[in-house]
Amino acid sequence: MTAYVLGVRGFVPENVVSNDDLVAGNPGWDSDKIFEKTGIRSRNVASPDQTSSDLGFIAADGLLTSLNFDRSQVDAILFCTQTPDFLLPSSACILQSRLGLSTRCAAFDFNLGCSGFVYGLWIAKSLVESQAATNVLIVVGETYSKLCNPHDMVTVTIFGDGGGAALVSSNSVGAIASLGAFVVGTDGRGAENLIVRAGAARHPRTATTALAVTDEKGNQRSDEQLFMNGPEVFSFTLKSVSSGIQELLDKSGLEWNEIDLFLFHQANAFMLGKLREKMRIPAEKLPICFEKTGNTVSATIPLLLDYCRDNSIVQPGFRSVLAGFGVGYSWAFCLLHWK
């Protein structure tokens, strides 16, 4: 049995924070230099009362409405987030009710970042092909802006907020693509390089975890905020992505030149540029769309798919590699055959 993608949709909140806005609160920062390093001019951020499930809901509700899909036929909803509404219950349970899905619908959260959307496709394909489910709704939502210290150039210049959704089915009618092979992987030795150290069971919040400290480069953050070791994350990415895609191609019996599009997690311009250079991918085969949204974590690929659709970059019959990679460390790659 083949698993098909019936549709994909991304969403970003209305609030925009430009590089100039960041510079206004950080004397000594430079808007042009931020853009040169990251490829990002602005990023969308959630309002104080807007959560990750709110962003995912808007994407999922819009997708189901646009497909005129019978919501009672959704067998499972999977929600990927690292910024859930509550410690419990699962945000997926809340989304089941908000979206008007059947009470016979399975619902669960999974905690993954930049690899999360492709991981969700992997889970959905497994459920469909094992006949455990017929229609699986994948929803992603992230509000990393709430984790970033406004005076930490490493994180606040890169991350934005966003949501996304995809519907995977055993039914090919109206499908936009079919799911091919997958390669997924994990290396937890890199956990400390992209982490929020305090706030959960291992390191509960205390009076001291909320106190921001300044590092040797002048960046401020507390243990309750996002820490990223940029050079280590970059090194991991260069090592894992190329080898992982080669494994995917070997598994699929394809060569690099037989792939029409490489749809990568939209991390930042420097990282994607180095990946493209290492793998000798022509620029036209690796589209980039994060200049105005920033790195929206698990939502970057849904937003990229929207961009490719709206700009006629995807053509019928194209073969695409979807690649998610980051926090964990974790990675997930898959082959998408466009109908």
Q: Which residues are catalytic?
A: 114, 265, 295
Q: 261 has which bridge partners? A: 320
**Whole-angstrom Cα distance, residue 136 to residue 154?**
36
Question: Six-digit token pair at 6?
Answer: 């019936």
Distance CA 30, CA 114 (A): 27
Q: What secondary structure does DSSP assign to 222-288, as a single string?
A: -TTS-EE-HHHHHHHHHHHHHHHHHHHHHHHT--GGG-SEEEE----HHHHHHHHHHHT--GGGS--
Tokens matching residue 92: 């997926």
The residues near 86 (Cβ < 8 Å, ≥ 6 apart) are none
Give the amino acid at 289: C
Residue keyed to tokens 């990946």? 275
The answer to whether residues 7 and 66 touch, using CB atoms and an 8 Å cutoff, is: yes
Reference 108, options 118, 120, 126; nearest CA is: 120
Distance CA 192, CA 190 (A): 6
Report CA dihedral (291, 330, 8, 105) to the nearest 10 degrees.
Answer: -140
Residue 339 CB-half CA count within 13 A: 14
- Phi, psi at 179, each rounded to 5°: -95, 130
**Token pair for residue 125?**
């394909």
Question: Which pair of structure tokens corresponds to residue 260?
Answer: 């029409």
